[in-house]
Amino acid sequence: MPTPIPGKGRLLTSIASGWFEFLRKQNLVKDHVLSTDLPAIPGIEDSLRHSLRGRTMTCRAAHVVPIECVARGYLAGSGWAEYQSSGTVCGVKLPPGLKQCDRLPAPIFSPATKAVEGHDENISFEQAGEIVGADLMRRLRELTLNIYSIAAQYALERGVILADTKFEFGFALDRNGSATNELMLVDEVLTPDSSRYWPLANFEPGRDQPSFDKQFLRNWLLQLVQSGSWDKTPPGPEVPSEIVAGTLARYEEALQKLFAK
């Protein structure tokens, strides 16, 4: 999008930092974050420090596993579309009669390829295993579902439904730049850019949910596509100030609900 959303980087960094700190205490898997303390980061010019404060992390280098690990706890998005056409989500057969945004009987692991350009593509667990190995995929599936379940319970206790989310993993590099066997959680984690967050107080299956994530912006773009005002050709339309403000307000509310002291 050509329109910047001022302050979004700080909000995403704060949310990701809160989740990394929380997950570290669960001892499920290591992560790549070294520091979020700007003064501890060498080589940054003084003139840039003010603009970078609150939106910076130093992280360990990693060889990223080329599979995105999605956990779905509710019937939404592409999962809802698949269920309507086949009664399945990511190939998992589900009971008939489920409604849009219903809670799933159990969270579902959904791997996807990491696309260099365009949208990532959902693939089967078996296809993912052919790409990176079946043993690694079994490990990633277990980690993904465990992290999701713990995070979803934490969020629910704070009045927020974590409907689905995406994780990425990688192997730490040694001093020579070669991948080790040390698996880490990398990239952003559980932010409104990589997750679907709904307010528990307004939850009502059978319809779209109000959200604390980028769905607000997506819905505005979808309206443009449906009206013929935009054909999805990059870089996209300028975003009106009220959509920018609404997006920021939702991200800020997510931060406050999840990590307000």
With cut-offs at 50, 70 and 90, classify the pLDDT of residue 134.
very high
- Please report the pLDDT score of residue 218 as a whole number: 87
Rounded mean pLDDT, 200-206:
97
Helix (H, G, I), strand (E, B) or coil at 259: helix
**Residue 119 confidence (pLDDT) above 90:** no
The SS3 call for residue 89 is strand
pLDDT of 24: 97
| Phi, psi for residue 129 in degrees, rounded to 5 | -65, -35
Tell me, what's the pLDDT at 9? 92
**Amino acid at the residue 27:** N
Q: Which single residue is written with the structure tokens 């994780």?
A: 167
4-20 average pLDDT score: 94
Of the pLDDT bands very low, low, confident and very high (cuts 50, 70, 90), residue 216 is confident
Enter the CATH code of domain 8-259: 3.30.470.20
The answer to whether the pTM exceeds 0.85 is yes
Average pLDDT over every residue of 155-163: 98
Percent of the chain past pLDDT 70, that is, above it, reads 98
Q: pLDDT class for 90, splitting at 50, 70, 90?
A: confident
How far from 254 is each of 82, 94, 162, 190, 241, CA to CA, in Å? 28, 30, 11, 11, 20
22 burial (CB, 10 Å; 0-12 / 13-18 / 19+) is: middle
pLDDT for position 48: 84
Mean of per-residue pLDDT scores for the chain: 93
What is the C-alpha separation between 41 and 58, in angstroms, rounded?
Answer: 7
Neighbours of 261 (CB within 10 A): 2
pLDDT number for residue 85: 96
Q: At what angle do helices 134-156 and 125-132 cross, to 10 degrees?
A: 120
